[in-house]
Amino acid sequence: MAAKSHGKPGIVEADENYFGTVKTFKRKLKACKTCTEQEDITYLWVCVTADGLKKGFCGKKSGDSPLAMYQWLNIIDEAASLGANWLVLSLADPLEECESIWPISKWAQQVHGMTVGLHLKECASLTGKETKLIRQLDLDKTRVLLRCTSKKVPEKIEKQGITVWTANPQPDGEKPKCLGPKRMIFVNENGVLYTCGLVEGNNTYRIGHVEDGRLKHILNDPEAPRKVCDDIRVVTPGCDGCPALLAGFFQEM
């Protein structure tokens, strides 16, 4: 991804003052969106580990350092310029170990007005420490997504002002009532873009890498698969946290 680090915060540096200086930039992004033909993107879905978003390419460069924070933020910026107003971060590691999610989430909320979904994989409840950490975000623009084992999904609960949604509103094995991946950008923790989370790791559905170029061009590549074959389109845990699925169950999306 052609990105410049100038003016963007590092993990530790991100602060309120900084966010206040980027309004001009945001206006430019909006102008850009109105004068170019874009895909109708609504959701950005990114997988995160405690190491951040790595540069590794399909595991071949697993020793590579993580993408720099400004590159993360560029991904958010580009997705926002394409129309994304939701960012879902699927965390493979415990929330308290994923430090990079805080500046990224704040950037998405404060600069682009996006709603952030924090998807805590394999978690069914929030600890007190997690609750405290999450409360640093704009809670009106935050949803926590947890895997629910109950049959009585979807469910929406409030925990200390935090809105919690089930990450799996539809039982495994059913045909997903999703809007499909056309309105979504999915990035795994190695920076590889796939059609959606269900087909992550399946080379047939690999679209590119965040460093391949501008997201707009990657997504508009006629060779890029933007739907999943009906034969394999079945709800699995790979669909957990999928914003295109949640949108069918939660009116707010």
- Environment class of residue 37 by beta-carbon count within 10 Å: exposed (0-12), middle (13-18) or buried (19+)? exposed
Cα 181 to the center of its chain, rounded Å: 13
Q: In terms of CB distance, is 91 or 137 closer to ligand SF4? A: 91
Least distance from C-beta 8 to ligand SF4, angstroms?
30
Q: In terms of CB distance, is 121 or 233 closer to ligand SF4? A: 233
Residue 115 gets which letter from DSSP?
A: E
Least distance from C-beta 244 to ligand SF4, angstroms?
4
Among 44, 196, 207, 247, binds ligand SF4 (CB under 6 A): 196
Residue 183 CB partners (closer than 8 Å, separation 6+): 39, 40, 41, 42, 43, 244
Q: 86 - beta bridge partners?
A: 43, 115
Binding of residue 207 to ligand SF4 (CB under 6 A): no
Residue 15 CB partners (closer than 8 Å, separation 6+): 9
Task: Please identify, among the stretches 46-54, 128-136, 215-223, 239-247, the one whose residues bind ligand SF4 according to the rule CB under 6 A.
Answer: 239-247
Binding of residue 181 to ligand SF4 (CB under 6 A): yes
Binding of residue 84 to ligand SF4 (CB under 6 A): no
Of 196, 208, 184, residue with least CA distance to 235: 196
End-to-end CA distance of the chain: 28
Interacting positions 158-177 with ligand SF4 (CB under 6 A): 176
Quick note: the x/- pattern for ligand SF4 over 119-158, rule CB under 6 A, is ----------------------------------------
Peptide bond before residue 154 is cis, with ω within 30 degrees of 0:
yes
Binding of residue 79 to ligand SF4 (CB under 6 A): no
Residue 176 gets which letter from DSSP?
A: P
b vs e for 74-99, b when ≥16 Cβ sit within 10 Å of the residue's Cβ?
bbbbbbbbbebbbbbbbbbeebeebe
Among 121, 147, 159, 233, binds ligand SF4 (CB under 6 A): 233
Binding of residue 198 to ligand SF4 (CB under 6 A): yes
Binding of residue 187 to ligand SF4 (CB under 6 A): no
List interacting residues with ligand SF4 (CB under 6 A). 176, 178, 180-181, 196-198, 228, 233, 239, 242, 244-245
